[in-house]
Structure 1
Amino acid sequence: MKIIKSALIVFIVFSISMKSMSQDKYSYLALGDSYTIGELVEEEERWPVVLSKKLNDRGIEIEVEKIIATTGWTTDELIEAINKDKSLENTTYDIVSLLIGVNNQYRGYGIIQYEEEFEELLKKAITLADKKAKNVFVVSIPDYGVTPFVKNNNKNGAIIAKELKKYNKVARNICEEYGVEFFDITPLSLKAIWNTDYVAKDDLHPSAKMYEEWADYIEPGLYQLLNK
C-alpha cells in the first residue's frame, strides 16, 4: 500500500510539474514597424528578441516565432500585411505585441485615421492571441524628435513631441478600453537628448543599447502578466 501511495504522489507531483512547464512555454508574435524589426541593429538586438531572452533567464520559456514589421510601415500598411499573411490563418500565439504609429505622424496622417486603424490592429492582435486581451501588450511610440536626425534635417522637435503625445494618448485609451497592457517607453527614448549611444548610425533609430533598456522596462510587467 505504501508503494502505491508513493507512486501516486510521484505521479501527481510529476503531473503538476509537467503542467507548470507547459504553461511556461509561450509563442510570441511581434507586430510593428522599424522599431520592432530593429532598423540597423542585429537580429538578436531587436527588443522583442532581447525581451524573450530576459524572460527565458527568469525561467519563462518564450520564443519569438514571428515578427511582422517593416521600416516605414503605417497602420494601414501593417493591416494590409496581416491580412495578406496566409501563415496567420487558423494560427494563434500566446503573446502578441504591437508598436505602430510613428510613420503615421511622420507622413502627416490624421489622428482620426490612426485612432480607427490602431483599434482595428489591436482587435487583430487580440484575435491572434486566441482572443485573450490579457495576452496582448502595446508599446508606446518613442519620441524621435530628440534625435540628431531632426536637428540635421531642420525639423521641429517640439511639434513632433506634441503630436506623438496625442498618438500615444489615443493608443493608451484604446488599450484601456480593451483591457490591454500599455508600456510607456517614451520617457526612455528621451535619453537620446544627451547620449548619442542610444541612437543608431542613421541618427534616427534606436540603438541596441536603447532597445535593451526598453526590454528591461517591459520585462517585469510582462513577467507579472504571464504569472497571473
Structure 2
Amino acid sequence: MATIPEFKDKFFEGEPGLLAVFDYEYDEIIDFYQRLRWMQLIFCPPAWLSVVCCGPCFLNQNIEWDNRSRHLALTVDGIKFVHAKRQFLCGLSCSDKGKESKTVPYDKITDCDVQEPAGTACCCFIPNVLYKVTVDTASSGRNKEGVPQHELEIIGLKHPHEFKQAVWSIKRGELPSGALLSQLPARPEQAPSQSGMSDMTTPLLTDIREELRKMNSLLATKYGAT
C-alpha cells in the first residue's frame, strides 16, 4: 500500500478535500538552477546584453522567487499544482507574476512516471541532481518538433516515488496510508455495493409480486379457481 510521507509545506492549510501534500527540495532546486543559469550566461555571448538591464544582478533572486512559490498536493479531485503569486524581475510590485494553478483529475491520467537524474545539464560541468515526475493524459502528445508534451512536469520533488505510488493508489480507488482524509468519496462510475443493490431490488421485487397476485386473482375470477 502507498504511504504518504511527512511534509512541511503549509501552503494548502484549509484546502477542502486535501489528501496529501508533497514537499519540493527547494534548496537543491535553487542551487542547481542558479549554477546552470550562470553557466549559460557565461557561455552564451548574446545573453551578455542582459547586463545592460542589470539582469545578472537579480538572477539568483528570480530563481529563488520562482521555485519557492511552487506547491503540490493530492486532493479528492486530482493532482493539484500551484505556482503562487511571486516577485519577478527587479522585485517591484508592478512586475509581480500572478498565481497559476492546475488540477489533473485521476480518471484522466494515463501515465505517471519518475525520471531519475543522470548525466549533466551544461557542458559536463553541472550534474543533473533533480528527479522529474511526468503526468500524462489522453490529450498529451508531441509538438511539431516531436518533443513529448506532458500534462504536468514536476521537477525536484522530495519524495517522487511515493508521489507516483500515491497517485496510482488513488486512481484505483484506494486511500494511501497516512492520507489526511479518512476515506475517498464514492465515484459515480463505481458499481453499487451488494447492500446498495439489495436496497434497490427489494421494492422492485415486492411490486412484481403484488402485480402477479392481482393477475392471478383476475384469472381466477374469469376462468374459475384451479
What TM-score, normalized to structure 2? 0.25
Give the structure with the higher percent strand: 2
Give the structure with the higher percent helix: 1
Q: Which has the larger radius of gyration?
A: 2
What TM-score, normalized to structure 1? 0.25
